Amino acid sequence: MSALDALEHQSIYILREAFRHFSPLAMLWSIGKDSGVMVHLARKAFFGRMPFPAMHLDTGAEFPEVYAFRDRYAKEWGLELIADPCPPLEGIDPTLPPASRFAARKTAGLKEAVARYGLKAVIVGIRRDEQATRAKERVFSPRVDTGDWDYRDQPAEFWDLYADRAPDGGHVRVHPLLHWTELDIWRYTQREGIPVVPLYFAQGGRRFRSLGEIGITNPIDSDAADLDAIIAELAATRTEERAGRAMDHESEDAFERLRNAGYM
């Protein structure tokens, strides 16, 4: 079994465990490279059709290419798409730095969606290698009714035994890609032929390495215009994946505040 096969098998096991234990259940679909892999894995896990909704937390500020990709592949893959708008900026904590405050609209949108649809679990495509705070996560991460997360109080996960029930009034975040790396994502994308938003490929010496909203996400210098070039570039780089995310360069504790409050 190859390393990618092992990653795939573990993630499919996690997805099936989530489906077995939790209902209603939904998957967050950011339309980025990681959530694209997640949708692909879910379709593999359930014989070609994802048996729970794909939920896009829509700030109204995605790149046009992202909306075009979402609309095309939601139809092509037969996804049950939920694309409710996130709450306006005026309702978000004004003490957060500007980019973090804008990003926190997705946290508020998720809280509303969990309540609106009565979700007991939400599948999320974060990885431990993305950011130091995310490295503290569990695969099945219980959240209280406010969506808050306390990294000091998490269930042990020995022998692939995961939390199988949500707290009263709360839900569980399920992370099937937690053990993957950015390189794993791209190598698997190439192997499986998974389509991605064209913004990931360089044009005019620039490309997006991580996709977020217009105004708080910037491209990086790059000539990587295809998957082979992206994989070669990442194998040699020391630059952080989220270097183009504005909120990661604001106050030192901004991202941790977002995560503690329920940010993905």
For 160-177, how does the pLDDT look when each residue is reduced to its tens digit (9 = 90+)? Answer: 777 777 778 889 999 999
b (16+ CB within 10 A) / e for 138-164: bbbbbbeeebebeeeeeeeeeeeebbe
More confident position, 47 or 137: 47
Quickly name the fold that domain 3-180 has. Rossmann fold (3.40.50)
Total residue count of the chain as it appears in this document: 264
Decide if pLDDT at 132 tops 90.
no
121's enclosing H/E stretch is strand 121-123
Residue 85, pLDDT score: 94
Q: Mean per-residue pLDDT for 26-41?
A: 97
Determine the Cα–Cα distance for residues 263 and 256; give it in Å rounded to an integer: 9
CA separation (Å) from 196 to 135, 186, 189? 25, 10, 8
Residue 169, pLDDT score: 82
SS3 of residue 223 by DSSP: coil
**pLDDT bracket for residue 152 (50, 70, 90):** low
For 38-93, how does the pLDDT look when each residue is reduced to its tens digit (9 = 90+)? Answer: 999 999 999 999 999 999 999 999 999 999 999 999 999 999 999 999 988 888 88
Determine the Cα–Cα distance for residues 171 and 191; give it in Å rounded to an integer: 34
Decide if pLDDT at 208 tops 70.
yes
SS3 of residue 120 by DSSP: coil
- Provide DSSP, 2-37: -HHHHHHHHHHHHHHHHHHH-SSEEEE--SSHHHHH
Residue 242, pLDDT score: 61
**Helices (DSSP H) in 143-246: which residue ranges?**
182-192, 227-236
User: What integer best gives the mean pLDDT of the chain?
Assistant: 87
| Distance from chain centroid for Cα 115 | 20
Q: How far apart are the first and last CA of the chain?
A: 31
Q: Which tokens sit at 118?
A: 């009565």
**pLDDT bracket for residue 245 (50, 70, 90):** low
Residue 220, pLDDT score: 92
Q: Which residue has the tokens 């993630």?
A: 11
Question: Radius of gyration of the chain from Cα atoms?
Answer: 17
Closest listed residue to residue 30, CA positions, set 90, 81, 75, 94: 81
Decide if pLDDT at 247 tops 60.
no
Read off the DSSP letter of residue 228: H
More confident position, 26 or 141: 26
For 182-207, how does the pLDDT look when each residue is reduced to its tens digit (9 = 90+)? Answer: 999 999 999 999 999 999 999 999 99
Pair 141, 14: CB distance under 8 Å: no
